[in-house]
């Protein structure tokens, strides 16, 4: 009788081991996912400031100024062209893990759509990175043969890819934020991320007619921080 009462008391005081283990296993997963997204956001930001060209405010408009900045900073220019696709791929893969971990059909569907859009955003950025690598390799020669009467087009012929990338990435962030909010992982932070991404689309399309990609990386960083702080 005493043994039975002791067992009953222990069950009341100590929860079922399976529940404890599930709780312990669930907690680090979202934090690890958050750290992974934080790393990709940091890579994005390093890429954004790696090249002297993008540290200028405002960005150069004259083709010869553009070429001079690129030619004089070959390492930084090459680094940003490589870092961006790496960060896009890392984020898309991390989104894949998030979508696989969500079990409810609604949130999982939104996360899957976000993952798809991020992969599309990566594909849209690849031509930009390839063009930038080629431009870095040819900048010195283009300066040597520069004709002020017929300046070469510098970073002005891939606007469609830039806009497709921008809209895909912002839409992916909006969907992922909503997915995590509906799943209860980030009940408030998810909606904040989603709302900021939607505002970004509206600002880019109707107000700025442009979009600083750095702002997308800031939104991604907020999502990462929210996941790191779960639990």
More reliable by pLDDT, 28 or 225: 225
Q: How confident is the model at residue 28 (pLDDT cuts 50, 70, 90)?
A: low
Q: Is 65 helix (H, G, I), strand (E, B) or coil?
A: helix
Give 55's DSSP letter.
G
pLDDT digits (tens, 9 = 90+) for 92-116: 999 999 999 999 999 999 999 999 9
Report the distance separating Cα 7 and Cα 39, nearest Å.
47
Residues 144, 145, 149, 150, Cα dihedral to 10°:
-120
Pick from 137, 167, 128: which is nearest to 47 by CA? Answer: 128
Provide the mean pLDDT of the chain. Answer: 88
Instruction: Report CA Rg, the chain.
Output: 23
| pLDDT over 90 (residue 209) | no
74: left (phi over 0), alpha (psi -120 to 50) or beta: alpha
Q: List the alpha helices (DSSP H) in the chain.
A: 2-13, 17-50, 63-71, 74-101, 105-144, 159-182, 189-202, 213-228
Question: What does the block give as tokens for 75?
Answer: 């390492």
Q: Is 145 helix (H, G, I), strand (E, B) or coil?
A: coil
Q: How confident is the model at residue 230 (pLDDT cuts 50, 70, 90)?
A: confident
pLDDT digits (tens, 9 = 90+) for 45-101: 999 999 999 888 788 889 999 999 999 999 999 999 999 999 999 999 999 999 999
pTM, two decimal places: 0.85
Residue with tokens 């790191």, as numbered in its chain: 228
* % of the chain surpassing 90 pLDDT: 75
How confident is the model at residue 231, as a pLDDT? 58
Over residues 124-136, the mean pLDDT reads 95
Q: What is the 3-state secondary structure (H, E, C) of 207-218?
A: HHCCCCHHHHHH
Report the distance separating Cα 105 and Cα 112, nearest Å.
10
Report the distance separating Cα 114 and Cα 99, nearest Å.
9
Q: Is 139 helix (H, G, I), strand (E, B) or coil?
A: helix
């Amino acid at each position: 009788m005493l043994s039975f009462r002791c067992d009953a008391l222990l069950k009341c005081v100590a929860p079922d081991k399976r529940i404890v283990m599930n709780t312990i296993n669930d907690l680090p997963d979202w934090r690890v996912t958050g750290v992974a997204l934080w790393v990709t956001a940091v890579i994005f930001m390093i890429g954004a400031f790696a090249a002297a060209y993008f540290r200028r405010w405002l960005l150069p408009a004259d083709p010869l100024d553009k070429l001079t900045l690129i030619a004089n900073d070959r390492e930084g220019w090459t680094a940003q062209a490589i870092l961006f696709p790496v960060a896009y791929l890392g984020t898309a893969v991390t989104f894949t893990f998030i979508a696989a971990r969500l079990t409810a059909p609604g949130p999982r569907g939104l996360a899957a759509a976000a993952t798809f859009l991020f992969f599309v955003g990566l594909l849209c950025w690849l031509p930009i990175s390839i063009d930038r690598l080629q431009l870095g390799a040819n900048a010195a020669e283009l300066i040597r043969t520069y004709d002020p009467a017929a300046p070469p087009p510098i970073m002005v012929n891939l606007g469609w890819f830039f806009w497709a990338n921008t809209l895909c990435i912002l839409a992916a962030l909006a969907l992922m934020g909503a997915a995590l909010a509906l799943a209860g992982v980030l009940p408030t932070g998810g909606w904040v991320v989603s709302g900021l991404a939607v505002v970004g689309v509206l600002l880019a399309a109707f107000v700025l007619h442009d979009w600083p990609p750095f702002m997308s990386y800031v939104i991604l960083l907020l999502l990462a921080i929210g996941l790191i702080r779960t639990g």
